[in-house]
Structure 1
Amino acid sequence: MVRTIPFSQRSQTGRPRRSKSMLLPIPRAVANELALQVHLALAALRRGGTGDDARALLHAHVLAQSIAEAGYGVLEPEQVRAADAALIACFERGNTGGGWQLDEAGFEAVAQLVNVYDRQLQGAPLWALTEASERLERMGAGETSQQALRKSA
Structure 2
Amino acid sequence: MTRTIPFARITQAAGTRRSKAMLLPMPRAEVDRVCLQVHVALDAMRRGSGNVNAAQTLCQVMILTGLLAEAGYGEATFEQMRDAESILSAAFDHGRNFHVWALDEEGFRQFAVIVATYDYQMQRAPLAIITDAGDRLERFRAGKSFDQMARRHA
TM bin, normalised by shorter chain, reads 0.7 to 0.9
SS at match of 2:86: helix
Residue 88 (structure 2) aligns with: 87
Q: Deviations over 1:129-150 (max 9, x none)?
A: 0011001101111123465468
Over 3 Å counting, the alpha-carbon distance change for 1:106 and 1:145 in structure 2 is closer
Mapped partners of 1:111, 1:134: distance in 2: 24
SS at match of 1:73: coil
RMSD: 2.0
Q: Distance in 2 between matches of 1:146 and 1:100?
A: 31
Local SS of the residue matching 2:102: coil
Aligned counterparts, 1:72-83, within 5 A: 72-83=73-84
With over 3 angstroms needed to count, the CA separation of the structure-2 counterparts of 1:67 and 1:146, relative to structure 1, is closer
Give TM-score, length-normalised by structure 1: 0.81
Measured in 1, the distance between the counterparts of 2:151 and 2:109 equals 39
Amino acid of the structure 1 residue aligned with 2:86: A
Aligned match of 1:7: none
Aligned residue type for 2:110 = A
Matches within 5 A, 1:106-121: 106-121=107-122
Rg comparison, structure with higher value:
2
Q: CA deviation at 1:81?
A: 2.8
In the alignment, does 2:110 pair up with 1:102? Answer: no
Q: Is the 8 A contact 1:61 1:113 kept in 2?
A: yes
Cα deviation, residue 50, structure 1: 0.3
Which 5+ residue runs of structure 1 have no aligned equivalent? Answer: 1-17
Gaps of 5+ in 2: 1-17
Task: Tell whether the 8 Å contact from 1:23 to 1:127 is kept in structure 2 after alignment.
Answer: yes
- Over 3 Å counting, the alpha-carbon distance change for 1:61 and 1:146 in structure 2 is closer
Count of matched residue pairs: 136
Q: Deviation at 1:23?
A: 0.9
Write 1 or 2 for the structure with the bigger share of helix.
2
Q: Percent identity?
A: 47
- The one-letter amino acid of 2:37's match is Q
Counterparts of residues 60-75 of structure 1 (less than 5 Å) = 60-75=61-76
Query: Does structure 1 residue 28 correspond to structure 2 residue 32?
Result: no
Report 1:136-151 matches (<5 A).
136-145=137-146, 148=149
